Amino acid sequence: MTSRILAALATLAALAAAPTPPPIAGGPHVMRILRPCAAAQLRAAVVEDQGAMMHRELRIGLTNTATTACAIDGYPAVRLLDQQQHPYIVAETFSTEKPREFTIGTGQTATFGLRVATGDGTTTYMTAPSLAIIPPGDVAPVLLRIELPVAPTLEVTPLTPAATK
């Protein structure tokens, strides 16, 4: 019995150390194992930018520039960065929308909403020159050059597939 347990543990250790298997090929119903979208394969751009009374609402797109599809699910982490790429202290709040997993193929885009206050009526906030966007499942950021107010809170919506034209 003890040898069976040791053999099972050895098998589990070998599986954990093994590299992620490649997609399974063959037939019309190809099963693929998709990795989460990494920052290195995404390009960020502002898709929509609207100003309103004391806040800005943006829709930001993350486009897959890699040669393979990837999976995305959840909220991106966002950070306003100063000139030296250091983050300002900003609190994030998340919408009540429920995220859902989806795939973005090569050239496809996922978008999320970002709402930032521009002032409180008496104070105008200083601005940050860059936004760091960290996709779910990664720790590296996608950088976007955009002047945004350093507000006390950034409101973020989950990533969703961009509407196709």
Q: pTM to 2 decimals?
A: 0.77
Q: Which fold has domain 38-161?
A: Immunoglobulin-like (2.60.40)
Pairing, β 153-156 against β 91-94: parallel
The alpha carbon dihedral of 146, 149, 153, 156 has a sign of negative
* pLDDT in 10s for each residue of the chain, 165 residues: 455 555 544 554 444 444 444 444 444 555 556 789 999 999 999 999 998 778 899 999 999 999 999 999 999 999 999 999 999 877 788 889 899 999 999 999 999 999 998 877 787 788 999 999 999 999 999 999 999 988 888 999 999 999 765
Burial of 41 (0-12, 13-18, 19+ CB in 10 A): buried
97, 112 Cβ separation under 8 angstroms: no
Q: How far apart are CA 157 and CA 165, in angstroms?
A: 22
Locate the domains of the chain by residue range.
Answer: 38-161
Closest CA relative to residue 90, chosen from 80, 98, 82? 80
